[in-house]
Every structure is written in structure tokens, then in C-alpha cells.
Amino acid sequence: MKIVIVGGGAGGLELATALGRKLGRKKKAEIVLIDRNQTHIWKPLLHEVASGSLDADLDAVSYRAHAHKNHYEFKLGTLGAVERDRKVILLDAFVDEEGEEILPQREEHYDYLVLAIGSVSNDFGVEGVAQNCIFLDSPTQARRFHQRLVDRFIRLNLELTEGKADRKLRVAIIGAGATGVELSAELYKAQEWFSSYGLGNITPEHMQVSLIEAGPRLLPALNDRISSGAHQELVKLGVSVRVNTAIVSAEPRRLITKEGEEIPADLMVWAAGVKAPEFLTGIEGLENNRANQILVEPTLQAKGDPDIFALGDCAGCPITTPDGQQRWVPPRAQSAHQMASTIEHNLCAIIKGKSLAEFQYKDLGSLVSLSQYTAFGRLMGGLARGGLSLEGKVARMAYVSLYRMHQVAIYGWSRTAVVALADKINHFIRPRFKLH
């Protein structure tokens, strides 16, 4: 049996790791993971890569090395098409930054296919967003933002040295979900560290961060108490929080609101929502929802093809919330983790000839970190009611533990402990921020 997993995000990598250990090591199945990148970074941390508080070169997981240690095969590639009748996927030709072909177009046969290709930013058709705003969908985009941030800090410091005291670095972030809120705080921490490391003319007054939300409040997925607490803390840092503000167009160095107001910005980040890639709507015989997600059965098999599974942000899986409403499983890391566990169980069950399990989503709560300043969240019981509210250092510790649990899933407990120790050592011997 050959199991092909497309997408090495949180769910895809965890699934490949688990199947490699259970099936690949014993030669019960051939496990292949395909991704367009050479390394893995946990997507909820991309805002830290963008600000510089996380060095992706140190924290990234090499797919090839990880595959070797965990008994699966990694292949570099981008999914181009799925031919269900032949049970084959087509991989596009892979080219480098100069356009030179590294790998030709290829075919990959599968017995079971798992689509874990994640999501991309949803610009909702707003004019100029794709051309003028930065998305944070991938490590490459996060690194691009970081490089622009570093360049503008350096230029701003020079301008202040030359006596241009009115100059500021203006950053506009559209979308006040977790990514937008967390990035806003990280930018002020970045300013502190860059000031400490030689750009001493820059003070918090020289940074102007605008967090723009079309809805009535920040963090719409969380309760009012957490939203209000995060709002107050961001205002204390100096963030200009603008709710009930819809953006209708993005132009070079400025945004236009529905009321016709212009918001100037040197850097613009679009974090207003996500959708599954458009490509998924072109797979003949499969059903999609309005967010391009593949509709799945309770077993996470695609409707229309039991040999294809989908997980994470690209899977349209309906659930009934405690208040009786019908919703989709939210595009969050915990969803991908839980779906990966269910698909792992079901693929092993298929080999053993046993019945498949149905996916049961458990909302374990949510945590939002405002850099090293503070954190807010609710654990257990979901977001709508019940649960344990956290804030401050306790919430920050819980937030960090989420990443450690992801590392446990791909490394195991012993190696995760070593990685955590290495992080502590780097905390003392390396710069606290990525400065280049």
C-alpha cells in the first residue's frame, strides 16, 4: 500500500511522522510526503518569523532529515492535478528563483491520498491587495516581510540621525484575528530590540502600527473579555486600533477605507481571513464549499472518493456547536492535529480490515500572545462558554506549550526536551532577535 500525503504543515507532517513510525518502519506501507518547501515551520509562529523574534533557520525542520529518521520518504514538489481514475497526482515542474528547472513534471501513484495543503489568505476581491499587501501564508512570505522591516528600520534610523525627527515607520495590518493582533505586539518588541542593537535613535514614538478590523471588535472568535483585554494592551503599546473600518482598496503606500479615508503605510499586511487554494475546486468528482474546502465525510474521506482524505484548513468538515448551530471545523492548528490523529487511525484500520472512526472535534480553547508583554486565552470547554480563562505569564506559558506539543508529535518527548534545552542555551548565546 502506498500512502501519499500532500502538504507538510502541522497536520501533514504529524501524520507522515506517525504513519512512518507505525507502518513505514515495519514495511506495512510506503509513506510519501510531498511539499513545495524543503523545511517546516509551525504556521502559528509565522508572525514571529516576520517580526524576527523567531529565527526560522534555527527552528525549521528539514523534511529530508526528518523523513530519514521516521521511515517515510520526502519528495519536493507542487501539486498540479489529481487524476482520480488513474489514482495519480501530477507534480508541476520545480524551478528555482532564476527560473531554471530543478525537477521536471512528474507523476506520483497512490493507493490512498491525503490532501493537507493548508490555506491561503483571502483578499475577498479587494482591489489592489494582491499587488500591494504582504501575506503571511508561508515562511518565504514571512521572511520577505522581515527583510523589508529590517531595511526600513535601518533607513529610519539614518533619517533620524540626519535630523528628520518627523519620520516614522508606518505599518498597517488588516485583520484583527490572532495573526494581526500578535503581529502588532511583536512589532513593538522588534523596535525595542533593534534599538538595543545599534539603532538607538528609534523610539516607540517613531513606530506607527495601525490594526484595522472591519468588524466591531478584535479577536472575533474569542469572548468579549479576552477581546477587550487584548484591545487595551495594544493601545497601551501604542497601536492604533481601528474597528468597524472596512478597506475597499490598497494602493502603493496607502489604504482606502469605505468612507474614503486614506491610511498611509510603508508596510501593509493582509491578515483578514483564509480560504483553501482555488486549485481544489478543479478536482473532478469532489465537492467544495464556498471557502474552496473539500467536503469530507465524518471519517474525513472526501465525498465522492473514499481513497482520498483531507485534513486541516483544506477540509470542509461540518460540526454542531454547543449552542446548536451548524459550522465548519475552524482553520486552526488544533483542528489539523486532531484530524491527523483520526486519519492515522483510519488508514491503519484499513490495513487491518477494521471499521473506520468518525472525527470528533474537541475545542480545547484558544490562546493569543502579545509577544513577551502578556497573553490571553481560554482553555477547555471551548470559546463560547465554560472553560478556564488565563492571562499574563500563565497564559504565555500555556501558549509556548502548544508549540512544544507539536514538537512532541514530530520529535518525541526525549528529543523535544533536548530541543527545548537548546532553545534556552541560544537564548543566552545568540542575539534575542534576528537582525538580518
- Residue 232 and residue 352 share a domain: no
- Residue 231 and residue 154 share a domain: yes
Q: What is the pLDDT of residues 392-402, one digit of tens each?
A: 778 878 888 88
- What is the average pLDDT across 193-212? 90
Q: Supply the DSSP symbol for 354.
A: P
Tell me if residue 381 falls in helix, strand or coil. Answer: coil
Beginning with the edge strand found earlier in the chain, give each strand of the sheet holding 254-257 in spatial order.
Answer: 247-251, 254-257, 262-264
- Residue 26 and residue 110 share a domain: yes
Q: Which of 180-184, 233-237, 287-291, 425-429 has the lowest mean pLDDT?
A: 425-429
Q: Which of 203, 189, 192 is closest to 160 using CA atoms?
A: 203
Q: What is the pLDDT of residues 39-74, one digit of tens each?
A: 999 999 999 999 998 888 888 999 999 999 999 999
- Residue 246 and residue 146 share a domain: yes
The H or E element that residue 15 is part of is helix 10-19
Grid cell for residue 301: 474521506
Predicted confidence at residue 104, as pLDDT, reads 94
Q: Which of 323, 338, 360 is the last residue of a domain?
A: 360
- Residue 253 and residue 329 share a domain: no
Q: What is the pLDDT of residues 134-147, one digit of tens each?
A: 999 999 999 999 99
DSSP for 257-321, please give it: ETTS-EEE-SEEEE-S-EE--GGGGGSTT--B-TT-PEEB-TTSEETTEEEEEE-GGGEE-EEE-
- Residue 348 and residue 380 share a domain: no
Whole-angstrom distance, CA of residue 193 vs CA of residue 120? 30
Rounded percentage of the chain residues whose pLDDT exceeds 90: 72
Predicted confidence at residue 381, as pLDDT, reads 52
Is 132 exposed, middle or buried, given 0-12, 13-18 or 19+ CB atoms closer than 10 A?
A: middle
Residues 6+ apart with CB under 8 A from 141: 46, 134, 135
Predicted confidence at residue 385, as pLDDT, reads 47
On whether residue 318 sits in a domain, the answer given is yes
Q: What's the one-letter identity of residue 396?
A: R
Torsion of CA 237, 188, 271, 256, to 10 degrees: 70
On whether residue 435 sits in a domain, the answer given is no
Predicted confidence at residue 126, as pLDDT, reads 96
Q: What is the pLDDT of residues 145-154, one digit of tens each?
A: 999 999 999 9
Residues 6+ apart with CB under 8 A from 319: 326, 327, 328, 329, 361
Torsion of CA 96, 99, 104, 108, to 10 degrees: 60
Residue 383 above 60 pLDDT?
A: no
Phi-psi domain of 245 (left: phi exceeds 0; alpha: psi -120 through 50; beta: other): beta
Q: Tell which wins on pLDDT, 372 or 304.
A: 304
Residue 375 above 90 pLDDT?
A: no
Q: Which of 3-17, 218-232, 275-289 has the lowest mean pLDDT?
A: 218-232
Q: Which of 323, 341, 360 is the last residue of a domain?
A: 360
Whole-angstrom distance, CA of residue 43 vs CA of residue 106? 28
**Mean pLDDT for all residues in the chain:** 91
Grid cell for residue 395: 497564559
Q: Which of 179-183, 275-279, 387-391 has the lowest mean pLDDT?
A: 387-391
On whether residue 136 sits in a domain, the answer given is yes
Predicted confidence at residue 424, as pLDDT, reads 83
On whether residue 296 sits in a domain, the answer given is yes
Tell me if residue 244 falls in helix, strand or coil. Answer: coil
Whole-angstrom distance, CA of residue 283 vs CA of residue 197? 51
On whether residue 124 sits in a domain, the answer given is no
Residue 219 domain boundaries: 129-274+366-429
Grid cell for residue 6: 500532500
- Residue 263 and residue 283 share a domain: no
Length of the chain: 436
Q: How many domains does the chain have?
A: 2
Predicted confidence at residue 371, as pLDDT, reads 84
Q: Supply the DSSP symbol for 206.
A: G
Predicted confidence at residue 183, as pLDDT, reads 96
CATH code, domain carrying 203: 3.50.50.60
Residue 157 above 60 pLDDT?
A: yes
DSSP for 129-171, please give it: HHHH-B--SSHHHHHHHHHHHHHHHHHHHHHHHTT-TT--EEE
Whole-angstrom distance, CA of residue 367 vs CA of residue 333? 12
Whole-angstrom distance, CA of residue 315 vs CA of residue 283? 14
On whether residue 415 sits in a domain, the answer given is yes
Grid cell for residue 123: 483578499
- Residue 113 and residue 6 share a domain: yes
Phi-psi domain of 214 (left: phi exceeds 0; alpha: psi -120 through 50; beta: other): alpha
Q: Supply the DSSP symbol for 12.
A: H
| Upper half-sphere CA count for residue 227 (Cβ side, 13 Å) | 17
- What is the average pLDDT across 182-204? 90
Is 269 exposed, middle or buried, given 0-12, 13-18 or 19+ CB atoms closer than 10 A?
A: buried
Residue 270, CA distances (Å) to 151, 289, 371 in order: 20, 23, 19
On whether residue 383 sits in a domain, the answer given is yes
- Residue 171 and residue 53 share a domain: no
Q: What's the one-letter identity of residue 98?
A: E
- Residue 62 and residue 204 share a domain: no
- Residue 217 and residue 280 share a domain: no
DSSP strands (E only) in 290-433:
294-295, 301-302, 305-310, 315-316, 318-320, 326-328, 365-370, 374-379, 388-391
- Residue 267 and residue 141 share a domain: yes
Grid cell for residue 417: 526536551
Q: Which of 360, 385, 406 is the last residue of a domain?
A: 360
Q: Which of 102-116, 201-215, 363-377 has the lowest mean pLDDT?
A: 363-377
On whether residue 144 sits in a domain, the answer given is yes
Predicted confidence at residue 387, as pLDDT, reads 61
Q: What is the pLDDT of residues 305-333, one digit of tens each?
A: 999 999 999 999 999 877 778 889 999 89
Tell me the pLDDT band of 384, cut-offs 50, 70 and 90.
very low
